[in-house]
Every structure is written in C-alpha cells, then in structure tokens.
Structure 1
Amino acid sequence: MSIKKRYIALIAAAGIGIGWLTLGGTAAVMHYTSSTEFCVSCHTMQTPFEEYQGSVHFSNAKGIRAECSDCHIPSDPVSYLVTKIRASKDVYHEFVTGKIDTPEKYQAHRKELAEMVWQQMKDNDSATCRSCHTSDAMETYAQSRDAAKMHAYGKENNQTCIDCHKGVAHFAPEAELDSKAYDTLVAFTKRTKADAKTVYPISTIAMGELGSVNPTTELSVTSHDGDKRQVTLNAFQMKGAEQVLYMGKGQRAIVATLTEQGQQALQGDDFEADSYGNEWRAVSLNASIDQPVLDTLEPIWNYAKELDNVYCSTCHAKIPSEHFTVNAWGPVAKSMGGRTDISDANLEILTKFFQHHAKDVVSH
C-alpha cells in the first residue's frame, strides 16, 4: 500500500473513531441526563420528586414505574432534542438565578411551571402519555361508567390526555379565586331596581319562617318596600320529599328548603306520577325576603364561569354544561368539588350554573 493510501486510511479511521466517540459520547450524555437520578440530583427537584414518589406512576399494583423521562421527554428525535435544549434553562436557574431554590419559591412558581409543561404536552398531543397509554387498547367496559363516558367524549372532541389528567404525578397548583370577583357580584345587587319584577338571590337567603331559597332561583316580586320584597316562588314538589322544592318536574335541582310552616303555606296542583313512578306537582309559595338580589342572572353566571375556570379547568379540560343532565350534574359537581377547596356557597352557585344550562334544559 502506498504512503498516500495509508494516510487516507489513517485519516478515515481517525474520522470514524472521532465520530464514534463524539456520537457515542453525546448519546451517553443524553442518556445519563435523562435518568431520574440525574433529574433529582438538583436540590430544587426534591419537592416534585417527593410528590412523584406518592403517585401511581411511581408505585402501583402492576409494579410498573414511569421515570421522569417517560413523562417529560418525547421519544421522537426532533422533539427529544428540542426538549433537551429547552431543559438547559433549568440548569441556568439552578446555578445562577436560584429561581425555585426554596420551597416557598417553588410554590410561588408552581402554577407557572405546571402550565408551561401542560402546554408542551398539549402541543405534542400528550406524546409521552401515549407512549404507554393508547385509547385503542383501553377496555372501557372495565372502567367506571363516568371514566368510559369521558374517554369517549375526549375522542369525539379531539381532546388530549393532559386536558383532563393534570396533577397525576405532581400536585396541581392550588386554585385561587380573586376575592374581588365576589365583591363585584355583590356590587351588582346594589344596581337592582326597587321595582324589579323578577329577582334572583346570589346566596341562600331566608324566606321569613317559611324556609330558605337557594341562589339563582327566580322569584316574582308582587310588592316591595325598600329592600323588603314580597315574592312568589314557582317550583315543583315531589311526594316523599315535601320539605324541598325543585327546579322542574323530574329535575332534582333544589331551589328551596321549607319548614313545616312553609310546607303548609304552599299552593299547588294534585300530584301526578312521572314515567319513573315518582309523583310531582307544581306549587307556588308567597314569601318575604330582605336580602341582596339581582334583577338579571348574567352577573352570577359570569361569576360561575370564573369559578369553573379556577376550580374545574385547572385540573381538566372544561366540560360543557350541556354534557350532563340536570340530575347528573348534582352528584358530578359534588364529587369533583370535594377534590378542591371550593366553598359550599360557591359550589352551590357553580352547580346551579351547570344545571340551568344542562343538556335537558338547553335542548327545550
């Protein structure tokens, strides 16, 4: 072999060696920096690591564990590299700015960090979720009825996993409602005209000794003296549950709770059975109120939408009110509300919003 050919062979071999070392070294670095051990080596990751250890993705009956990279780093090459480059800012904040280097700072930025990750997952159609979970492989008959229904709804409406499954491995940000929102609602009651013909309470209020009426309930005003109003409540009563009044026949959205005196003061038709054998009758009740009220439902519905944004949409995609019936919304809202710190008063307003815009209301 000539000297020239030897040099060419040597250069080629050196190039291959350097290339192998470069690519191999890069792959090794990429692999190591994707390990859970590396991710949690920064002390700022201690809080999310502890949350992860308490999640089903860390420990479960199947013995399957999802590592940090399984959820946070997509497997396709382009997204993989983009994610690794984007992660360089975490190193910068760890060693330079100390952005989340205390538990207090971490909590202060939790919402910002969570929303950033949620948006990334939404943008890639929850690619990392789908690397393990596929809707085609789901045995929906083995799921709860609500879960199967929501999975079907998600597919029909092109939703992605992260739309609903937030706070799975790490705590979701605590919902915070601006206190001014309720103050604004109260301020609207001061605009209610004294001679308003129809009014709506913004909270549960007393009807003298007759009982109490729930927020958003329509009351027809028959006379007034300043803030004191004589009103008529039209509703439905079911035999066997005479102490409460409902929004409609067969619709178990409670609008008022009555005392014995209130039940005796009712005026109504005879009971008639519905298709399920329950007996209902239309009733009316004349009562007196003196609490703040609205003369339109728009302000309280706007407030309810804000409650929906804060307490519901923080954890999952917004569910249209027409997705459930009046009767279904009651237990659904109660169950979901129990997972948040929403107050009973706000949950009542939110539930009434859903029920007044439910599938069997808007379709009529």
Structure 2
Amino acid sequence: MIAKIWKFFWSPSARYSLGGLVIAGGVLGILFWGGFNTFMEYTNTMEFCISCHEMRDNVYQEYKQTIHYSNRTGVQAICSDCHVPKDWTRKLIRKIKASGELYHKLMGTIGTKEKFEARRLHLARNVWKTMEETDSIECRNCHSSHAMKFEAQKPKSAEIMKKGFANGETCIACHKGIAHKLPDMSQGYLVMFEDMKKQSSKGNSDQDTLYTIETKPFFMDSAEASDGGKGSGRLMSATEVKVVERDGDKLKIRINGWQQDKVNRLIYELRGQRIFSAVLSKKVIDKVVIEKTEVDPDTELTWHKVHLDVWVPNNSLIADKEKLWEYGSELFNASCSVCHSLPSPSHSLANQWIGVLKAMKRFIVLDKEQYRFLQKYLQMHAKDTGGAAHHG
C-alpha cells in the first residue's frame, strides 16, 4: 500500500504539465506560508494574549498599572515583546512549547484567582529562568546599555547599573516584578519545611545519622526528655547527630564537634569556623568529652575535638541530608535573588557569611529560625568548607 502511494506521488502526471504543477505548488506554498505566518503573528497580539480569562483577570490587570503599559511617550511593550523571541526559529520553538499550555487550560490548572496565586511562584520562576538563559534578550531588544545616558539616571541607580554590566549580570537578575506582581517567595520554602516536619513525625527507627531541621532543646537523661521544658542546652538547626540509644519516642544522641579553648558553652561544627552546632548550659559543661586538642595554624588558637551525649525527643530530625540542603538552597534563592543575581555560596568564606548576611538582614523577611538555618547552609557550602557535612 505504501509502495503504491509512493509510486503515485512520484509518477509524472499525464493530465497536467510540469510547469503548471510547479506554479500551482508555488502558489499553494505561498498561501500556506502566508496563512501560517499571519496566524503566528496574530498569536503575538495583545488581543490574543488576553483572550482567556486566566491572563485577562490576573497578570494583564497588573501590567496595566506599569510603565510598560502607559507612559509619557506612549511607547508600549505588549505581552509578546517580553514573552516571545523575535528570532523566527526561537519564536517557532516557543509557539510549539506554548501548545502544551492548552492542556493546563483544559485542566483548569490556573482557572481561578486562588489557583493562579498558588502557582504564581512556579510560573514566575519559569519566566525568570528563560530570561536568564537568553541573557534577557527580551529586555535588550528595546533597552541598549550602549545607548543609556547614565548621567540622566539617579547616581545610585547608575552606579548599580554600571557595576551589573561590568560583572556580566543580566537584566532580570535585578528587575524582577517590573511588569507583574512579585510572587510570595516564601511559598517554596514553607512547603518544603512542612514536608520535612511530616517526614520527621514518622520517626527514624532505622537511621543512625540524623539532622535537626530546627533548633531544639536537649536533655541529660531520658526522663527529662519526656517531661520537656527548657532543657540543658539547644541543638542548632542543620546539625548532624549520631544515634547512640533508643527509648521509645526518645533518642540518646551524640553531638560531635569542636570547642575553642576557654569557650566551653558552644560546640562548633568545624575547627576554626564559627558554625554553631550546640549551645550548652553551665551545668553540662563538665559532661563534654575532649577527644584531642589542636592548634589552628592560621589563628594560633587552641581547639578541642569533643563530643557530648544527650537525650532528645524523636522529632524535628530527618535522615535525608539532601532534602535538608534543598530547603537551605530554597531559602537562599527566595531571599537573595530578587534584588540581584544569586551569588554562589562559595563566594565567601564560612566566617565571612556571618557579616555578609547580617548586612543584608534588613532586606529579607525570614524569621530568626529561618535566618539561622540560612546562615548555616551558606557556611557549610562556603569557599573554605566546600559544602562538606563535617571535617575531621
């Protein structure tokens, strides 16, 4: 059957001349191309973009309040200017990808305002990621760094812009939310933390290495752990512990770490690094076991490798370190990528991150617990720790 069709397709026509067939094919090709291109261009119009209520009732209403919609010169950037590439090949690829959005239209994925808000962060990050990959070509189609009059800008703005261009940063790194409302950046990490809480509530009956997901008190015996209360000290979040003994819903754990000589109420994660693992009350200082003593060659300070065995309720602990650091990464991304491009955690030394983060504290909205976790995440992935969980 296929062979017959193939033969018919390639056999010379007995009815029509070759020239007529060529002309007819050319005309049909022009009509097809013209129709296809006309439809492609129609899908770039504002009318088409807001023809569905998901766009018309949400992002379009936000866009109407921005300078990209209305300004003193009357120059308007419409949806396709920012969301559809100008290059024909990339434009076609974008249109093909957009056809997948028809499925979500039929499923009503963002069919209500509530559904749209629940997905806003996900949608925004998809757009930001695309613009980062294209070096914000959508912005630079209209805005040229070579044509900018920096002297006409506010001095601080001009300084930041020049520095950004010099460092190779892309527009979207600093200009998120320029045409639409910024999403609630906490959506991602709040969900991730709740997932860790649920995981920790199931217990860790068969895992001997665990990690704290938040600050929690520790106790010196099982009975005290059952009673709860203030405890004999605090385990800081993202601290690794080893299970020594189990007693129902309580665990005897070992905290391994380092103490600086004569600073005996703190246990640090690593020698010479201000990465906090535990805070001790005075009554348990003498319970700390010193394994060995070393002098830090960089600072000439004396440090003791130590461990302390304590009891804790079997909660707020998980065995999945990868999930722990994914949460830290999300905290970092949500807090530090809105105003500028996200630096690598290895950009600074572990001890430097304390000051760097403190300088940025007024610009972020984390609570104290989240802030401590973020600081530890950055310190454990700093230039001089390499993201290692612990050093000997």
Range into which the TM-score falls when normalised by the shorter chain = 0.5 to 0.7
- 1:66-105 per-position Cα deviation (integer Å, ceiling 9, x unaligned): 55343223333444566578778989998x8876453134
For 1:267 and 1:79, the matched residues in 2 are separated by 64
Give the superposition deviation at 1:128: 0.4
Give the superposition deviation at 1:259: 3.9
**Unmatched tracts of structure 1, length 5 or more:** 1-18
The 8 Å contact of residues 199 and 293 in structure 1, kept in 2 or not, is answered as no
Match of residue 13 from structure 2: none
> Any residues of structure 2 matched to 1:147-296 within 5 Å, and which?
152=167, 168-170=178-180, 171-172=182-183, 174-175=187-188, 176-177=191-192, 179-185=194-200, 187=202, 189-192=204-207, 201-208=212-219, 210-217=232-239, 226=247, 227=250, 229=252, 231=254, 234-237=257-260, 244-248=266-270, 250-261=272-283, 281-282=302-303, 289-292=310-313
The 8 Å contact of residues 207 and 288 in structure 1, kept in 2 or not, is answered as no
SS of residue in 2 equivalent to 1:291 = strand
Give the superposition deviation at 1:215: 3.1
Give the superposition deviation at 1:360: 0.5
* Structure 1 pair 321–263 and aligned structure 2 pair: CA distance change class (3 A): same
**Unmatched tracts of structure 2, length 5 or more:** 1-30, 151-156, 220-230
* Structure 1 pair 320–210 and aligned structure 2 pair: CA distance change class (3 A): same
* Structure 1 pair 242–305 and aligned structure 2 pair: CA distance change class (3 A): closer
For 1:150 and 1:247, the matched residues in 2 are separated by 38
Q: 1:131 aligns with which of 137, 141, 147?
A: 141
Q: 2:117 aligns with which of 102, 107, 131?
A: 107
The 8 Å contact of residues 211 and 319 in structure 2, kept in 1 or not, is answered as no
For 1:346 and 1:101, the matched residues in 2 are separated by 33
* Structure 1 pair 293–234 and aligned structure 2 pair: CA distance change class (3 A): farther
For 2:295 and 2:142, the matched residues in 1 are separated by 55
Q: TM-score, normalised by structure 1?
A: 0.57
The 8 Å contact of residues 245 and 256 in structure 1, kept in 2 or not, is answered as yes
For 2:285 and 2:146, the matched residues in 1 are separated by 54
Match of residue 4 from structure 2: none
For 2:354 and 2:67, the matched residues in 1 are separated by 29
Give the superposition deviation at 1:48: 1.1
Match of residue 303 from structure 1: 323
Amino acid at match of 1:322: S
- 1:307-354 per-position Cα deviation (integer Å, ceiling 9, x unaligned): 15654557968865434321344466675897577x755654454343
* Structure 1 pair 130–107 and aligned structure 2 pair: CA distance change class (3 A): same
SS of residue in 1 equivalent to 2:277 = strand
* Structure 1 pair 259–141 and aligned structure 2 pair: CA distance change class (3 A): farther
For 2:68 and 2:281, the matched residues in 1 are separated by 51
> Any residues of structure 2 matched to 1:4-43 within 5 Å, and which?
30=41, 34=45, 39=49, 43=53
For 1:64 and 1:352, the matched residues in 2 are separated by 47
For 1:57 and 1:245, the matched residues in 2 are separated by 54
Amino acid at match of 1:355: Q
Give the superposition deviation at 1:183: 3.1
The 8 Å contact of residues 266 and 285 in structure 1, kept in 2 or not, is answered as yes
Bigger mean CA deviation after superposition, 303-312 or 316-325? 316-325
For 1:286 and 1:84, the matched residues in 2 are separated by 60
For 2:62 and 2:158, the matched residues in 1 are separated by 31
User: RMSD of the TM alignment (CA)?
Assistant: 5.9
